[in-house]
Amino acid sequence: MNFQSNTKANFKVVGTRVPRPDGVDKVTGRALYGADFNVPGMQVGLILRSPHAHATINSIDTSKATALPGVKAVVTSADLGVPEDESLRDVQDNCLARGKVLYDGHAVAAVAAKDMATAKAALKLIKVDYTPLPHVTDVDAAMKLDAPVVQEARADESVPEGCGPNVTHYCEFGHGDLESGFGMADLILERSFTTAATHQGYIEPHACVASYGTDDKADLWCTTQGQYFVRDLCSGILGIEGSQLRVTASEIGGGFGGKTTVFIEPVALALSRKAGRPVKIVMSRVDVFRATGPTVSSSMDVRIGMTKDGRITAAEAKLRYQGGAFPCGTVDMGAQAAFAAYDLKAVRTQGWNALTNRPKEAAYRAPGAPMAIYAVESVVDELCQQLDLDPLDVRILNAADAGTKSSYGPTFDQIGLMATLEAAKEHDHYHAPLGENQGRGLSCGFWFNFGGNTSVSLAINSDGTVSVTEGNPDIGGSRASISMMAAEELGVAYEKVRTIITDTSSLGQNDVTDGSRVTFAVGLATIKAARAAIRVMCGRVAKIWGIDEDAVVWEDGAAKPSGPNAGDFEPMTLADIAAISSETGGPIAGHHEVNAEGAGVSFGVHLADVEVDPETGATKVLRYTVFQDAGKAVHPDYVEGQMQGGAAQGIGWALNEEYIYGDDGRLQNAGFLDYRIPVASDLPNIDTVILEIPNPGHPYGVRGVGETPIVPPLAALSNAVSRAIGVRLHELPMSPPKILKAVMAKG
Amino acid sequence: MQYMKPSTATEASDILARNEGAARILGGGTDLLVQMRSGMIEPEMIVDIKHLDGITDITAEDGGLRIGAAVSGQRLGEHEGARAMWPGVVEACELIGSTQIQGRCTMAGNLCNGGPAADSVPAMIAAAAVARIEGPKGARDCPVEEFVTGPGKTVLGKGEFVSSIFLPARPKAASDAYLRFIPRTEMDIAVASAGVNIVLADDGTIKSARVALGAVGPKVVLVADAADAIIGSKLEDPAITALVRACEAAASPIDDKRGTVEFRTTVVGVLAKRAARIAMDRAQENATGEKT
C-alpha cells in the first residue's frame, strides 16, 4: 500500500514502549486523585437529592439544617443567579434544581458542615415540599404528543411541526436519490433496534475542594477532563471573572467523557462562598449513577438495500435518542456517524432528541456513534446472511476510501478503513474454526476525532532537561506521548523530559480532553513548541559562533553548522546550550498556541467470537481482535490499551450494562453490583492490530485513537450472538434472560 | 457508637440481650460494614465475636466438621478436610464476594443475613448442615433449612447468635456440588442457584439426596420432590427430566432487575441438573477412588 504522506518517517523515540510516567505513583498510591486533596479548615459538603422522577418544588425549608450546630452553610438554587445563557443555565439547573426536580437523584440543596455526621444530620433536617408530576423515562414514550412534558418549550429551530413537546432537536444528513437506490436493490431489510443508557463507569467518583475568598478570588481542585471548561462554567454560574477562579485538575481515575462537565463543583464553590471556609464534596457511587451523565438510550429504524452481489444501493436510518432532562445534540453525531464506513450513492439519516426524566447525558467515548453504528452493522450483517455473502467482503466492496463523499457531507482524505478491513481478512482469527453454539461477528467503527484549542509551553532547563507544561488531564497516557514527541523533536532522551498538567492560570485556553484530541492536538502543539525552542537555541549558537542563524541547523539533539560553508564548529548539544543560557540571553523556552484542525477521522474493525449457553442464555466472549488505524502509534502500549479498553466497555454495553428504571421512574441499579460492567474474568485477552496510515494533518501522522474502539463491539457482539443462536436480537443489552427467551422462542 | 469485644459466649449473649435492636454482630463484617457505609443501618453498638473461643477454628467432630462462625471463606477453602468431604459447601462459600471479601466473609454471616440468594446457604441446606446457636439459655442447634424464616428474618431470638456451623459425617460414596447463575463471571449475586448432595448405594444408584434452590423464592428452599426424582437412579435422562421439573415446580421467583420469573424458573432447573451431575461424578470418584 502506498500512502501519500508528508509526514516524518524515521523515529527514534516515537513508536517505542517507554515506561509510563504515572505508573509508579499509581501502583504505590502516591498519585493524588480528586478525593485525596485536603486543605486546612475544610468542611464536608453533602448534597440532598430528589426522591422523585419529576416533581414541582413548592418550598425548601433549610432553617433547621442551618441552625444545627456545626453547619456552616446550606445552599439551594436561590443562592445562585439565573444565567442568561441557556446552556449555562441548564448546567446550573442540573447542579441545583430550580422550580422542578427533573429526575430521580436531581440535586436540590447542599450543606457544608464540620464533619460527615453533622452534614448527614443536616441533610435530614432540610424539608422539601414536592408535588409529584407524571414522568417519562423511555425515549419512544417521550416522543409522543401526549407525553408528560419534562421542560416546556425547549425545542430549537430545527424541530419540524408536529413533533411531541419533549422533542428538542432534529437533524438530517445524506445525499442522493433514496427511492431510485432502493429500486436497484435485490433485497431490502428494515429493522428496528433499541439500546439502553450506559454509564462511563469510571472508578473514581467526582470529587472537588472549593475555596472561595472574601475578595471573590477562588480556587478549585477537582477531578475533571478539562479544568478550563470547569473554570468557564463555574465562573459563569458564580458570577465571577474567569481570571479570579483558578482550577487545578487532579490525577484522574477514568473519565471516558463523563468528566467533561460539572456536577458538584459550582455547589462546592457556592457552599464555600457562603461558609467562608473551604468545602470538599465527594460523590458516592450511588450518586454518580443517579446524577451524573450516562450516555443516551436509543430507539432506531434502519433500512438498507443490497444487490445480490453485495453492493449497497441505498441506506436510511431514523434515530431517536433521549439524553435526559436537558437538551442535548448527541443524536447529531449518531446521524453523521451511522453510515460513515460506506461509500454510498443514496443515504439519509434523520435524528430526533427527546427530553426524559433521567439524568442529563454526558459524553461517553464517541458519543452517539456506537448505537447508530450497531443498528447499521446489524442490518448489513443480516443482509449478508440472507444473501449468503461474506460479511468482510461486503464491507470491503462498499468501504469508504480517500475521495469518498461521506454520508455526512465531507469528502474523506487518507483514511484507514480499507487497510483495517484487509488486515482483518488476512488475520487468522477470521479463518479459525468455530464449534457448537459459537458464532463470529464483525463490525466497522468510526469516529470523527477533534483538534481544538491548545496551548503548550516547553522549557529548556539549564541542566539540559526539558519541562513540558500542558493543560489537558491525562486520561489515556498523554503525558508519555507528549514527552515522547518533545524528546523526538528535540533529539533528547525520553527520560530527560517531564510533562506536567497545569492549572487554568498558567497557560492559554485548552479545550477539554475529549474528541480523542490530546495526543493529536497537544502533540502537535508540543512539536511546534519544541521547534520554537530549537529556533531560539540555534539563534544562541549562531551568536556564539558568529554566523547567520540560517547557517545553524538542528540535528540529533544538537546545533550544527548547516554545511562546510557555514564554518567548522563542533556541534553544541541541547545540554551544552542550556548550561550557558544565562550568558547567551537568558532562559530558553518555546510555546505554541493553536486551534488545531486536521484531526483525521478514525476507523476500526472488530472481530468477536462468542459461545452462547443455550440453556441459560449466558454469552462467553471466546476471542476478540481489534484492528484500528492509529495514524502513527506514538506509544503502542497505550494505543493498544485504548483499543482494549474501548472493546471492554463496548462488550459490557452489548451484554449487560443498562440503566434500569422502575414504574416509579426511579433508577433501580445505582451501583456496580447491578450495573454490570465486565470484570477481568469476563473477557478474553483482547488482541490488537495497529495499522498506521499517517494523518496528513499531523507532523508525525498521529490520529486520535481513544474513541473509535467503543463503537464496533455492540454490533460485533450482536452479530456473533445472532449467528451462534440462529436468531437475531434487536436490543441491547443482550442480557441472559433476553437471549434465553429468544432461544426458547425459536424452539 | 460503642465497640464491644466479648471473650465468652455468655458475655456476648448478655451484651446482645441488653442492647437488643441497638447492637449488631461483627463477624467478618462484609455485610455489616457495607450496610453501615451505605447508610442502611446506623447501629449504636458493634459486638465483635471474633475473640470467642473456637470461633475461628475448624474442628473434627463425630466424623463431621464444626466450622466456627468467624472462619473466613479463604480459611475454609484452604482446609483439605473440608474440601474433600463437602466440596459443594466449600465451593459455594468461596463464591461469596471477591478475593478481598473472602479473607473476611463467613458462612455463618451469609446465613444470618437471611438473603434468598446467599451462596453458601443452598449448599449448607443440601448438606444437612446444622447451625449452633448461643443464647441466654445456653447453646441450641437448628438445622440450616429451618434457620431463615423470610427475607432478612431468622429464628434468632433475643441475645442469640450463631457460633458455628456443623457439617455432618457422610459415607465415602457421596458428594455434593453447588452452582449459581450470575450474568458475569464473578463479583455478583446469584440470579438462581442450586445445591445438590447425594449418597450412592453399593450398586451406584443414588441412595439418598438433598436438593436446595436459591434466589427463586423468599428464602432458600429444600425440594424433597427434586431429591425423590433422582433417588434410585444413576441420573439417567428420565430422572434428570423429573429433577428439572420438580425444581421448576418448586421455584416461586419474582421479576426484578436481576431476572425474570421465566428465566429464573428455567435456569434453576438447568443448574440443579448440572450440579447433580457434578455431585454424581464426585461421588463415583469417592466410591472408586478413580476420576470418572
pLDDT level of residue A662 (50, 70, 90 thresholds): very high
Would you call A735 and B266 a contact, using CB atoms and an 8 Å cutoff? no
A684 touches chain B (CB under 8 A): no
Measured between beta carbons, which residues in chain A are less than 8 angstroms from residue B277?
none
The residue of chain B nearest to residue A735, with distances taken between CA atoms, is B183
> In B, which residues are within 8 Å of A679 by CB distance?
184-187
Q: Could you tell me which residues come within 8 angstroms of residue B164 by beta carbon, excluding any fewer than 6 positions away?
A: B54, B55, B66, B67, B68, B69, B108, B131, B132
B267 and A679 within 8 Å at the Cβ level: the answer is no
Q: Is any Cβ of chain B less than 8 angstroms from the Cβ of A737?
A: yes
Interchain pair A681, B185: CB under 8 A: yes
Question: Which one of A651, A666, A674 makes the best mutation probe of the B interface by having the most chain B beta carbons within 10 Å?
Answer: A674
The verdict on A117 touching B (C-beta cutoff 8 Å) is no
Q: Are A611 and A440 within 8 A, CB to CB?
A: no
Note whether residue B87 is domain-resident: no
Is B38 within 8 Å of A741 when comparing Cβ atoms?
no
Q: Which of B49, B64, B87 is the last residue of a domain?
A: B49
Which of A4-8, A280-284, B110-114 is the least confident region? A4-8
pLDDT tens figures, A692-737 = 999 999 999 999 999 999 999 999 999 999 999 999 999 999 999 9
Kindly report the CATH number assigned to the domain that includes residue B189. Answer: 3.30.390.50
Q: What is the pLDDT of residues A146-190, one digit of tens each?
A: 999 999 999 999 999 999 999 999 999 999 999 999 999 999 999
At B290 the pLDDT is 77
Instruction: Say how far apart CA B132 and CA B138 lie, in whole Å.
Output: 10
Chain B touched by A742 (CB under 8 Å):
no
Closest residue on chain B to A659 (Cα):
B257
CB contact under 8 A, B39 and A120: yes
Does the CB of A669 have a partner CB in chain B at under 8 Å? yes
In a domain, B118, yes or no: no
Q: What are residue B44's DSSP bridge partners?
A: none
Measure B231 CA to nearest chain A CA, in Å.
24
In chain B, the residue whose alpha carbon lies closest to the alpha carbon of A683 is: B185
Please give the share of chain A, as a percent, with pLDDT higher than 90: 98
Instruction: Write down the pLDDT at residue B39.
Output: 85
> Which three-class secondary structure state does DSSP give residue B240?
helix
Cβ neighbours for A57, distance < 8 A, ≥ 6 positions apart: A97, A99, A100, A101, A108, A128, A129, A130
Q: A-chain residues within 8 Å CB-CB of B183?
A: 618, 655-656, 676, 735-736
Of A527, A672, A460, A708, nearest to A600 by C-alpha is A708
Give residue-wise pLDDT tens across range B11-66.
999 999 999 989 999 999 999 999 998 888 999 999 999 999 999 999 999 999 99
* Burial classification of residue A388, based on how many CB atoms lie within 10 Å of its CB (0-12 exposed, 13-18 middle, 19 or more buried): exposed
Cell numbers that stand for A170 in this block:
432534529
Boundary (domain end) residue, out of B49, B68, B86: B49
Residue B201 lies in a domain: yes
Q: With an 8 Å Cβ cutoff, is A120 touching chain B?
A: yes
**Rg from Cα positions in chain A:** 27
Q: Which of A679, A735, A741 sits opposite B187 (nearest CB)?
A: A679
Determine the pLDDT at residue A8: 72
Q: Which residues of B touch A (CB under 8 A)?
A: 38-39, 181, 183-189, 191, 257-260, 262-263, 266-267, 270
- Look at residue A6 and tell me whether its pLDDT is greater than 90: no
Say how far residue A346 (Cα) sits from the centre of its chain.
30
Task: Tell me if B121 is assigned to some domain.
Answer: no
pLDDT of residue B292: 61
Q: Is A660 on the interface with B (CB under 8 A)?
A: yes
**Cβ neighbours of A115 in B, within 8 Å:** none
Average pLDDT over residues B121-126: 98
Question: What pLDDT digit, counting tens, does each position of B242-253 carry?
Answer: 999 999 999 999
B49, B71, B89 - which closes a domain: B49
A745 touches chain B (CB under 8 A): no
B184, B258, B266: residue with CB nearest A678? B184
C-alpha B195/C-alpha A81 separation (Å) is 61
**Pick from B183, B184, B262: CB nearest A741:** B262
pLDDT at residue A391 tops 80: yes
In a domain, B100, yes or no: no
Quick check: A663 contacting B, CB < 8 Å?
A: no
Instruction: Answer whether residue B90 shows pLDDT above 50.
Output: yes
pLDDT at position A87 over 60:
yes
Work out the mean pLDDT of chain B and round it to a whole number: 96
Let me know: does B162 contact B131? Beta carbons within 8 Å. Answer: yes
C-alpha count within 13 angstroms, C-beta hemisphere, residue B73: 25
Domain span at B24: 1-49
Across chain A, what does the average pLDDT equal?
97
- Reading the block at residue B238, the C-alpha cell is 428420565
Q: What are phi and psi of A248, to 5 degrees?
A: -115, 130
User: How far is residue B34's CA from residue B42's CA, in Å, rounded to a whole number?
Assistant: 11
The Cα A275–Cα A285 span in angstroms is: 26
B159: part of which helix (H) or strand (E)? Answer: none
Rounded to whole angstroms, the Cα distance separating A454 from A468 reads 13
Count of domains observed in chain B: 2
Q: What pLDDT, on the 0 to 100 scale, is given for residue A9?
A: 73
| CA of residue A112 relative to chain centroid, distance | 32
C-alpha cell at A101: 426536580
Which of chain A's residues have a Cβ under 8 Å away from the Cβ of B270? Answer: 615-616
> What is the pLDDT averaged over residues A634-662?
98
- With respect to residue B214, please indicate whether it lies within any of the assigned structural domains: yes
As a whole number of angstroms, the longest Cα–Cα distance in chain A is: 89
Phi/psi for B23 (5° steps) reads -100, 145
Beta strand pairing call for A218-222 and A207-212:
antiparallel
Q: Tell me the C-alpha distance between A116 and A44, whole Å.
A: 6
B134-193 pLDDT per residue, tens: 999 999 999 999 999 999 999 999 999 999 999 999 999 999 999 999 999 999 999 999
User: What span, in angstroms and rounded, lies between the C-alpha atoms of A482 and A120?
Assistant: 44
Neighboring chain B residues of A735 at a CB cutoff of 8 Å: 183
Of A617, A655, A681, the CB nearest to B186: A681
Quick one: cell of A193?
433496534
Residue B193: its chain A contacts at CB < 8 A?
none
CA distance A320 to A352: 5
Antiparallel, parallel or unpaired: β A297-306 and A218-222: unpaired
Alpha carbon A446 to chain centroid distance? 13
Q: Cα A66 from chain centroid?
A: 39
> What domains are defined for chain A?
452-596 (3.30.365.10)
* Contact criterion met (CB < 8 Å) for B188 and A676: yes
List, in order, residues 6 or more apart from B51 with CB less than 8 Å away.
B5, B6, B7
Residues of B in contact with A741 (CB under 8 A): 260, 262-263
CB pairs under 8 A between A and B: 54
Exposure b/e, A369-384, CB count within 10 A at least 16 = b: bbbbbbbbbbbbbbbb
**H-type alpha helices, B58-134:** 73-77, 80-85, 87-93, 99-102, 107-112, 120-126
- Pairing verdict, β A55-61 and B153-154: unpaired
Query: How far apart (Å, rounded) are the C-alpha atoms in residues B147 and B141?
Result: 10
How many angstroms separate the CA atoms of A538 and A530, rounded?
Answer: 12
The reply to whether B6 falls in a domain is yes
Alpha-carbon distance of A573 to A579, in angstroms, equals 10
Q: Which residues of B touch A656 (CB under 8 A)?
A: 183-184
CATH number of B44's domain: 3.30.43.10
Taking the CA atoms of residue B156, residue B157, residue B162 and residue B165 in that order, the dihedral angle to the nearest 10 degrees is -50
Q: Which of B183, B259, B270 sits opposite A656 (nearest CB)?
A: B183
Q: Please calculate the CA angle A30-A32-A38 and round it to the nearest 5 degrees.
A: 120
Cell of A344: 454510498
**How far is residue A581 CA from its own chain's centroid?**
42
CB A732 within 8 A of CB A654: yes
| SS3 of B213-239 | EECCCCCCEECHHHHHHHCCCCCCHHH
Tell me the C-alpha distance between B103 and B97, whole Å: 10
Region at A540 (left for phi over 0; alpha for psi -120 to 50; beta for the rest): alpha
Question: Residue A639 corresponds to which amino acid?
Answer: V
Nearest residue in B to A284, CA atom = B38
Substitution target from B186, B187, B261 for chain A, most A beta carbons within 10 A: B187
CB spacing of A681 vs B260 below 8 angstroms: no
Å between A347 CA and nearest CA of chain B: 38
What would the pLDDT profile of A487-529 be if each residue is shown by its tens digit?
999 999 999 999 999 999 999 999 999 999 999 999 999 999 9
Q: Name B288's Cβ contacts closer than 8 Å, sequence gap at least 6.
A: none
Q: Report yes or no on B185 lying in a domain.
A: yes
Cα of A683 to nearest chain B Cα, Å: 9
Cα B227 to chain centroid distance, Å, stands at 18
pLDDT (tens digit per residue) in A443-453: 999 999 999 99
Whose cell is 465486565? That residue is: A678
Mutating which of B184, B186, B248 best tests the A interface, going by the most A Cβ atoms within 10 A?
B184
User: Which grid cell is B119?
Assistant: 451462596
| Half-sphere exposure for A456 (CA within 13 Å, toward CB) | 35
Predicted local confidence at residue A4, as pLDDT: 40
A616 at interface of B, judged by CB pairs closer than 8 A: yes
DSSP per-residue string spanning A326-367: S---HHHHHHHHTTTTB--SSEEEEEEEE--SSPPP---SST
Predicted confidence (pLDDT) at residue A1 exceeds the cutoff of 80: no
**8 A C-beta contact, residue B54 and residue B164:** yes
pLDDT per position as a tens digit, A17-76 = 999 999 999 999 999 999 999 999 999 999 999 999 999 999 999 999 999 999 999 999
The span from the CA of B124 to the CA of A303, in Å, is 55
Question: What is residue A35's three-state secondary structure?
Answer: helix
Q: Which three-class secondary structure string do you get for A401-420? A: CCCCECCCCCECCCCCHHHH
